[in-house]
Amino acid sequence: MAGVLIVSELLRAAVNWVRDVQSELLRDYISFLIHQKSIDADLAFYESADFYDHLHRARDEAGYRPVALLENLGSLLQNGITLLAMGAVLVPFGLWLPAALLLSTLPALYVVLRDALRRHEWRVRSTPHERRAWYYDWLMTTGQTAAELRLFGLGNLFRDSYQKLRRRLRTEQIELARRRGLAELGAAAAGLAVTGGSMAWMIWRALGGGVTLGDLALFYQAFNQGQRLMRSLLDQVGQIYYNSLFLGNLFEFLDLQSRIEGRAASRVSVCPRTVKEREGGRTDISLIPEVRFEGVSFRYPGANVPVLRDFDLVVPARRITAVVGPNGSGKSTLIKLICRLYDPDAGSVRWEGVDLRQLDLDVLRRSITVLFQQPVRYNDTVHDNIGFGDVGRIVLSDEIRAAARAAGADGPVARLPGGYETLLGKSFRSGAELSVGEWQRIALARAFLRQAPILLLDEPTSSMDSWAEADWLERLRVHAEGRTVLIITHRFTTAMQADTIHVMAEGRIRESGSHAELVARGGLYADSWHRQTARDSSWATVGD
């Protein structure tokens, strides 16, 4: 007995250890699959509410559903073995008794499976409301919105909206629980009827001398234990069914197919005549490409109006090209198409005459460096914030500092307590916050770090003051020398640095030329230029 007790304790400890290891490995593996799919998914997916619903269900339940499924399967096997033993005890009293035991639990099986399906359907149906509640929670608890919530008094509004959604979700869940309780009560009544009939039959046999009182007690214990096992078994079947429905959600998410095909579909392994791979993952830019838009039409997924219509544009090699125009004219879309974050609906974007869709996607993107209109503020050190621009190789500290100087970020960095090792952002302890313009210069340094033949800048000076902008514009020509540069901007002072300026409106190029040529032409550019200079002059007069 002592040996059995010792072995039992050792097995219990081993089982707990295996369960913990198994759950951690499985949780991390499922998270890896979700993260990998999120990384590989087309940018278009992130503009779809349906994608976010799939992602929410997959991510929200990935931490415990697979683990629960494994534990349910283990308990099902364990209880199944015990149930077989109980059935063997009942068989000598009558072959029909195990069948009666099974029959008494069939209503409960139906209730369990039906409830699992209803809860799953409710989960799918309520996902948008759960995400909206999560969004309100985020608004009330993040530092990014704290100032506006206090200034405009939005806190109580969002709190009440959150409570309203939670009340709706809670009411629906309680209703599901009520319906399940009533159904379980009916199933239990049916099971009791079968149990009562079986007991009456056994008592009648005992009164007739067919079985002893000991047999009757044994039957009662075995039948009751069998019913408890069956109910436990059915609960586990229901949990397995419900958790397997989650796996359906997970696999739906993992099966989302990207339209932007990469290396497997590429017919050209590297960009022809323009890109050669050197050791260390760096790109040889001795040959600089021309980028050409030919008859491009494009509409964002779910949008009714095209952004570009039969669009033509040449971004010449080794030149700085600027595109200006009103908001919504499609300027930033050009950068997304060059990076193949989207593919055009019609026409083509060509790199030295080759359609981008024929190029290796990884090599193409390594040959481009970008400053997006809303760059990411990474809560990491200054060194890593800049170094993220070229993670394919070992970046030297001197290169980080050179990129910071080129972007005009060296001044703000010098004022930080830890210099380039200072943690940025307030999400973690000891982090330092920067101004919007200083964050933009850090992002510019990140873009400048990658020595790519194409440099794409979307509103590079939008958050800079006039002094910082003037300082940066002096550096631009030096850093951009020998590259193909495309600048998207609203600022004429920035556009004036370009060799060619294109004026864009309603998805097409309306005017092209140098600053002086466009002003002399008297078109859209000149009209906007004169209005801006007149406004600046009037403000100067008021100041005097």
pLDDT digits (tens, 9 = 90+) for 341-383: 889 999 999 998 889 988 888 888 888 999 888 888 888 899 9
CA-to-CA separations, 404 to 407, 430, 445, in angstroms, rounded: 5, 22, 5
Percent of the chain with pLDDT over 70: 83
Residue with tokens 């035991």: 101
Q: What is the pLDDT of residue 274?
A: 45
Under the banding of pLDDT at 50, 70 and 90, the label for residue 86 is low
pLDDT tens readout for residues 171-192: 998 998 888 888 878 877 777 7
Mean pLDDT is lowest, of 5-9, 98-102, 485-489, for 98-102
| Statement: residue 67 has pLDDT above 90 | no
Q: Is the pLDDT confidence value at 425 over 90?
A: no
Report for 159-173, 225-239, 467-481: range of highest mean pLDDT: 159-173
Residues counted in the chain:
544
At 163 the pLDDT is 93
Q: Judge contact between 90 and 226, C-beta under 8 A.
A: yes
Q: Encode pLDDT of 242-299 as tens digits.
A: 777 777 777 878 887 777 766 544 445 444 444 444 444 444 434 678 899 999 999 8
User: What CA–CA distance (Å, rounded) separates 392 from 381?
Assistant: 18
Residue 509, strand partner residues: 504
What is d(CA 106, CA 77) in angstroms, rounded to the nearest whole number?
19
User: Model-level pTM?
Assistant: 0.73
